[in-house]
Amino acid sequence: MRRYKIKQIDAFTDRPFGGNAAGVVPSADGLTDKEMQLIANEMDLSETAFILNSDIADFRIRWFTPKKEVLFCGHATVASLHALAEEGKFGMENDGEYSFKVETMIGVITVDVIKSSNIQIVLHSPKISLVRENIDMPAFLDALKIKEDEIDLSYPIMRETNLDYLYVPIISLGTLKNIDYDYSKLLKFCEKYNFPGVCVFTKETFDDDSKAHSRFFAPLYGVREDPVTGSAQGPLGAYLLINGIIDFEGSEVNIKSEQGDIMDRPGRLVINLTKDEYGNFSSKLISTAVTVLSGEIYLP
């Protein structure tokens, strides 16, 4: 009988039962692809992360939904680094600042850890590339069960081309709260355009100092709604800057973003955005996490 340590960690929050829950297997070497998928299905969380040895980085992370492996997952990466820091792995036995290169399916990414009385994770998001997107608007409106005037058409609908997420501005927080979409219709819409995820958001927020509140639907991954989606937040911050919703002065800006309140799992994070001399945006997500469950899983 093989035993693997496994944790459930709430990411993008400073309290249990908030933010987005992820499973983490801190030492996953020896597991097969099928076993990782079975464990993710057993955990039944939006994603479970598996930390493995790497020949090209400090370590490797793979992410699985209950249905399939995904290219990248922000909240489960935050959860993974929180778990490693908590256990003092990869040299993190003592308080201090640490930086790691992490091998993923989308390339090698950077994640920083600031360990003191609490653990702060700084996730360097993958490259951001936003373009305007033309969609079948009647089909989209029908799937979301909203009217065209509930979309804020003063701003464009955009696709992030690296992850293929769709970004759609919504006119108000009230409209965002009331979206109760048709899963099968949105799945069909996403299949047509190859959108793994749809981020709908508004400038109206719960907290006065926040700049956007979002919801994220991922029917292609079998996820009806994700509480707090790290992979979607960096591009969302870039969207706000590109379209003049946030003023950009100097070389960088911090944007507080919200997600999850509508699911009773409020999450908060800071999106740090910088722009290079060619006008390209890059982002860091600054956040915390909380371990809510720690144990072992038994395999034959």
Is 47 among the catalytic positions?
yes
* CA separation for the pair 28, 106 (Å, rounded): 19
Take residue 196 and report the two structure tokens written for it.
Answer: 């793994």
* CA separation for the pair 218, 202 (Å, rounded): 18
Q: Reduce the DSSP state of residue 190 to 3 states and report it.
A: helix
| CA distances to 12, 18, 65 from 291, in Å | 12, 11, 19
* CA separation for the pair 108, 230 (Å, rounded): 17
Q: Exactly one of 35, 47, 103, 150 is catalytic; which is it? A: 47
* DSSP label of 234: H
Burial 15-46 (b: 16+ CB within 10 A, else e): eeebbbbbbbbbbbeebeeebbbbbbeebebb
Q: What are the catalytic residues?
A: 47
